[in-house]
Structure 1
Amino acid sequence: MWRIVIIDDDRKVLRGMKKIIPWVELKAELAGEAENGSDGLELIRSIRPDIVITDIYMPVMNGLEMLQQLRKEDIKSKMIILSGYTDFEYARQSLSLNVSDYLVKPVSVPTLLEVLRKVIQELEKEEKEQQELQGLLQTSDSYRPTMEKEYLKSLVTGAFEPHFRRMQETNANYFAENKFQILAVEIEDTKRSSEVSSSDIHLFRYAVANIVEELLQTKWPESSVLELYSRHVAILLRYPPNKDTMELSELCQLLIDNVLRFLDVSIRIGIGSVQHGIKNIANSTEEALSALVSMRSFILEETGVKVWENAKYNSQTSSVKFPRVKYYQEVADAIRQLQEERAIQLVKEFAVQWMHSKETGSEDVQRVAAELWAIFAFALNEAGYSLDELYLDAAVKMEIGTLQTPNHFVEWIDEKIRGICERLDSNGQNVKHKQAIDFIIQYIHEHYFEEIRLGDMADKVYLSRNYLSNLFRTAVGETFQDYITKVRMDKAKRLIMEGKHRIYEVAEKVGYRNVPYFTSMFKRQTGRNPTDLLKEPIPTKKQE
């Protein structure tokens, strides 16, 4: 109900106003009345009405003085000025104080109702905008941690997306003032990890990231842990201006020991160099991952080495001169979305830069092919596909063993990308996707009164959040959030029609704590206010 206060020193006007205003029609109520500006000021301060109808000439304090004080106190009630005088100066002063309207006494009933309806429409519009803003802020807050992680991941991999530009501008000083270093963590290919499926590798990686992140909260708070692909996790270390770079071997060993202790999983860590500036973070990532490559060769001598720094292998092997991790990340995204031509183009661009490096021997070619194939397996698993069902693992390993040059690699991976996309995209959706959507729809209908997040659903069906969002829209014909709203409003209509619950109770039962926001969403979905349904007769069983 819209609360209206009337202030006038003429009691006849007060009585007349109360009689002529159609309170029920306007969904309004008389919240209070006063006979001078001073009492009116205290009344408005105490109850904060939506609308104030006030005279100008009153004893103790006039209407304009009262209004000036209210505006100083930032009280935003809508003001309608009444006056028996047609003095332009009063009108001008009132308009400068953001008055909704200025009416000259005696005001006709139609004119007063027209003004009140206009003001109430303004209030309804403002309330709707405020509710939408609150909903947007709530959604934004819930996804903020995920967005921040994705933003940092784009910097670490060098695959920066345009939609992060505003976030980058906001954090410009942060990256200008600090130095950064990347540690690349790799889950070792042991008997325990080699016997698990791609989805289990995802769980291994997730668990490793959690253990590492928990430990770093006390040992290095200025850090972020980011999952990359397959068996790899990146640690972004920040050196504030007052913190010097340090020897990391002790920290790395602590991470290795804790992961082994809690998960019985072995990891090794490659260390990149310290970098200045936002554009150079990915260089440290490339060095850290290259250190892992060098370490794998060195470990064949059974040295037991688990940590390797960029500086330790410069004399033995050349560092990578092109952004491998960036291309890996972009190709993984393309194959996950079955974007055949984009994936092939990225591989060709990758090969062109690769050929200018010194790592083009047969062992390098086979290693890159094996790495990219593992990334394909994981990316497709995230999207609900199984690469093992398309290609025999033993046959692929034999094919990789025959690759000798980058050109051989490009021909081989081109054929594989086309084969993957053709088989998986032939029917638009495979059975696993249908099962995933069916599961989510059922879950929504059973848990509509709870908070349901797309990210949580994606975890349950082992799909990435963005991929599931597109998949759901294609399969159902509307967005994930719109579908939840539709289900909730259908449930709300049934509860309201039962006539057993108040509107706030219905809102709570379908998952809304904010009743005005529920009302706004209900009207948007059904075209009516929830209270409108209360006026309708309850259908009998025969009518139903």
Structure 2
Amino acid sequence: MWRIAIIDDDRQVLAGMRNIIPWGELNAVYAGEAEDGKQGLELVRQANPDIVITDIYMPVMNGLEMLEALRQSGCTSRFVILSGYSDFEYARQALRLEVTDYLTKPVSIATIRNVLRKVIRSLEEEAAERQEQHELMEQVSQFRPYLEKECLKSLVTGSYDPRLERMRESGEIRLPEREFVVLAVEIAGSPRLVEPGRSDTHLFRFAVANIMEELLQARWPEAAVLELYYRYLAVLLPIPEHRPATDEQVNELCRMLTDEIRHYLQLSIRIGIGERQRGPRQIVLSTEQAFQALTDASGSLAGDGNIRRLPVIPGARMAGGRIRRVPFYQEVAESIRLLQEERTIRRIRAFVGEWTKDGGVFPEDVRRIAAELWTIFAYAVHEEGYSLEDLFADDAVQQELSRLQSPADLSQWFEEKTRSICRRLQRNGDNLRHRQAVDYMIEYIHAHYAEDIRLSDLADQVHLSRNYLSTLFRNATGETFQDYLTRVRMEKAKRFILEGKHLIYEVAEKVGYRNVPYFSTLFKKHTGMNPTDLLKGPIDAAADVRRKSEQFGT
């Protein structure tokens, strides 16, 4: 409620003002009164009213002297002067002291009420603006880690985001001029990844990223794990200046990561290691080399075909010459996933234009990159619940790909396919805004699973009704919002339990549950075992995922 104080040396004025102010209508309360400026000074300092109605000419200290002293001490109350003096000098001083209104006696009851309504309306607008600013700052604080990761992702993939570029230029995100190595990570081995559902894809990638982050926290604290698309992640390794890591140390780190992912998730991953590059702007070169190494079996390290470096062969060239495929694939995956026809085509044309500048493009390079790009298309639309096999016969596609001879052939073929994909899928009536809303929900769940997440709150954030958003989410993921949230929490809980560092009640709290018996019940329903049972032996994560999938009907 708004607090109003009255200061006047005339007791009849004080009593009259108390009676004529419509307190209930204004949602206001009486904050006190004073009969001179000195008393008024103490009253305002103690009661801190929102609005002060004051006379000017009063004994001991006049109203303007009182107001000046209050302004000098930082008082932000709104002042309405009610005075029998209309002298211009008084009005000029009042203006300098940021008086809200200046009324001369006698004044009507209607005028007093209208002035107070106007002042309170202004206060309400300011309060709403402050609340909005507070919420905005909370959101900025909440999403700063996300923005920092997006900045790193833009450096790793070589894509350009003007917002993130401004953050780097302003120094909000700092990366020193040092050496970096990029690891390209592909989730390779699991029967569930042959034809995973969209939510499973996110969950597998999320689980791998989380385990890697925790493993790297102890071994390489400055490392950053970045989720890219479908089965792919990247790890950015800053090389310490004071104790430069050797290639063998990086190799050993990769062996540890592949072993631990296999142990905890029963998944195989392949890792391509890029060459060291100095400075943030050169990181993308290491990324390109890392992803090229993934596809080059000749670079496998001795005794481990899942860890690969590009062999150093004088005069050897990479498929596609010096073109930067990683940012291209990342951008195309995003644009085709959102069915952005013209953006996808423009990016393909720009890529081909850069490619042909190198000259010496061989037909086998064209077909290799075409096959990779078609796979990216397939993965991207699959994440939206579609299958390219429903649109194009696979045998026909393979034959067409095998006939491509030049970058121009590739460009024309993909332009035709892009237009066909976008127009045919858009005719299905799937709304882009709705897909983006579901994407936001999934990302939010993975980032805030430990918090009290409610569907109604997310519905407010994406400006859709709760029931409609629930239906959209279920149609997109194959399970309810609550089931998906529980799945993510239980996967994270398994990781915490296997670490052996936390008591069960601590694990429950870390994944968003304050009621431990309820958490244990959910955990058993989800995994088929009690939380304490998980500590008794290694977990068969693949069997657990299958059991969980059958239970939820995904």
TM > 0.5 fold call: yes
Deviation string, structure 1 residues 428-462 (Cα, Å, up to 9, x no partner):
439xx89x99xx9xxxxxx6655546599898665
Contact 2:71 2:97 (8 Å CA) reproduced: yes
Structure 1 equivalent of residue 338 of structure 2: 337
Structure 1 equivalent of residue 509 of structure 2: none
Instruction: Map residues 55-66 of structure 1 onto 2, 5 A cutoff.
Output: 55-66=55-66
Instruction: Map residues 463-474 of structure 1 onto 2, 5 A cutoff.
Output: none
d(CA) in 2 for partners of 1:291 and 1:284? 10
d(CA) in 1 for partners of 2:177 and 2:277? 12
Instruction: Map residues 8-157 of structure 1 onto 2, 5 A cutoff.
Output: 8-157=8-157
CA distance 1:107–1:210, shift in 2 (3 Å): same
CA distance 1:391–1:321, shift in 2 (3 Å): same
Deviation string, structure 1 residues 486-523 (Cα, Å, up to 9, x no partner):
xxxxxxxxxxxxxxxxxxxxxxxxxxxxxxxxxxxxxx
Structure 1 equivalent of residue 325 of structure 2: 324
CA distance 1:229–1:53, shift in 2 (3 Å): same
One-letter amino acid of the counterpart of residue 101, structure 1? D
d(CA) in 2 for partners of 1:33 and 1:390? 79
Structure 2 equivalent of residue 351 of structure 1: 352
3-state SS of 1:30 partner: strand
One-letter amino acid of the counterpart of residue 42, structure 1? E
Among 239, 253, 261, the alignment partner of 1:251 is: 253
3-state SS of 2:80 partner: strand
Compute the displacement of 1:177 (Å). 5.1
Structure 1 equivalent of residue 511 of structure 2: none
d(CA) in 1 for partners of 2:92 and 2:280? 54
Contact 2:299 2:309 (8 Å CA) reproduced: no
d(CA) in 1 for partners of 2:473 and 2:276? 34
CA distance 1:211–1:391, shift in 2 (3 Å): farther
Q: Which stretch has the larger CA shift, 22-31 or 321-330?
A: 22-31
Deviation string, structure 1 residues 30-54 (Cα, Å, up to 9, x no partner):
2211223343333323332110112
Structure 2 equivalent of residue 419 of structure 1: 420
d(CA) in 2 for partners of 1:364 and 1:177? 34
d(CA) in 1 for partners of 2:329 and 2:181? 20
CA distance 1:117–1:420, shift in 2 (3 Å): closer
Structure 1 equivalent of residue 289 of structure 2: 287
3-state SS of 1:184 partner: strand
Instruction: Map residues 171-190 of structure 1 onto 2, 5 A cutoff.
Output: 171=171, 174-175=174-175, 179-188=179-188, 190=189
Compute the displacement of 1:86 (Å). 4.2
Contact 1:291 1:313 (8 Å CA) reproduced: no
Q: Which stretch has the larger CA shift, 113-122 or 325-334?
A: 113-122
Structure 2 equivalent of residue 388 of structure 1: 389
Contact 2:8 2:54 (8 Å CA) reproduced: yes
Compute the displacement of 1:144 (Å). 4.1
CA distance 1:115–1:344, shift in 2 (3 Å): closer
TM-score normalised according to structure 2 size: 0.70
d(CA) in 2 for partners of 1:390 and 1:120? 62
Compute the displacement of 1:119 (Å). 1.7
Compute the displacement of 1:281 (Å). 2.6
Contact 2:177 2:280 (8 Å CA) reproduced: no
Structure 1 equivalent of residue 540 of structure 2: none
Contact 1:79 1:101 (8 Å CA) reproduced: yes
Structure 2 equivalent of residue 197 of structure 1: 196
d(CA) in 2 for partners of 1:91 and 1:144? 48
CA distance 1:394–1:451, shift in 2 (3 Å): same
**Does residue 265 of structure 2 align to residue 263 of structure 1?**
yes
Q: Which stretch has the larger CA shift, 318-327 or 200-209?
A: 200-209
Instruction: Map residues 361-440 of structure 1 onto 2, 5 A cutoff.
Output: 361-393=362-394, 396-397=397-398, 399-401=400-402, 403=404, 405-429=406-430
Structure 2 equivalent of residue 477 of structure 1: none
Structure 1 equivalent of residue 232 of structure 2: 232
Compute the displacement of 1:339 (Å). 3.0
Deviation string, structure 1 residues 142-176 (Cα, Å, up to 9, x no partner):
44444443333223212213344433433377135
Deviation string, structure 1 residues 286-334 (Cα, Å, up to 9, x no partner):
122122233x2444x9952433345x43437324511111211222122
Q: Which stretch has the larger CA shift, 282-291 or 385-394?
A: 385-394
Instruction: Map residues 199-218 of structure 1 onto 2, 5 A cutoff.
Output: 199=198, 200-218=200-218
Contact 2:224 2:236 (8 Å CA) reproduced: yes
Compute the displacement of 1:19 (Å). 2.2
d(CA) in 2 for partners of 1:82 and 1:178? 68
Q: Which runs of 5+ in 2 are unaligned?
A: 442-453, 464-468, 478-554
Deviation string, structure 1 residues 362-416 (Cα, Å, up to 9, x no partner):
5433432232122112211223322232235465455545555545544543443
d(CA) in 2 for partners of 1:390 and 1:451? 34
Contact 1:382 1:462 (8 Å CA) reproduced: no
Contact 1:322 1:353 (8 Å CA) reproduced: yes
Contact 2:178 2:278 (8 Å CA) reproduced: yes
Query: What is the root-mean-square deviation in Å for CA atoms of aligned residues?
Result: 3.7
d(CA) in 1 for partners of 2:426 and 2:457? 34
Deviation string, structure 1 residues 315-360 (Cα, Å, up to 9, x no partner):
3732451111121122212222223343234323323433455884
3-state SS of 1:313 partner: coil
CA distance 1:72–1:385, shift in 2 (3 Å): farther
Compute the displacement of 1:5 (Å). 0.4
Q: How many residues align?
A: 449
Deviation string, structure 1 residues 465-491 (Cα, Å, up to 9, x no partner):
xxxxxxxxxxxxxxxxxxxxxxxxxxx
One-letter amino acid of the counterpart of residue 99, structure 1? V
Compute the displacement of 1:122 (Å). 1.7
Compute the displacement of 1:266 (Å). 1.5
Contact 2:6 2:34 (8 Å CA) reproduced: yes
Instruction: Map residues 495-534 of structure 1 onto 2, 5 A cutoff.
Output: none
CA distance 1:251–1:16, shift in 2 (3 Å): same
Compute the displacement of 1:13 (Å). 2.0
Compute the displacement of 1:264 (Å). 1.4
3-state SS of 1:160 partner: coil
Contact 1:327 1:346 (8 Å CA) reproduced: yes
Structure 2 equivalent of residue 273 of structure 1: 275
One-letter amino acid of the counterpart of residue 205, structure 2? R
CA distance 1:90–1:422, shift in 2 (3 Å): closer
3-state SS of 1:385 partner: coil
d(CA) in 2 for partners of 1:243 and 1:135? 43
One-letter amino acid of the counterpart of residue 256, structure 2? L
CA distance 1:397–1:363, shift in 2 (3 Å): same
TM-score normalised according to structure 1 size: 0.71
d(CA) in 1 for partners of 2:226 and 2:25? 57
3-state SS of 2:174 partner: helix
Contact 2:167 2:173 (8 Å CA) reproduced: no
CA distance 1:421–1:15, shift in 2 (3 Å): closer
3-state SS of 1:103 partner: strand
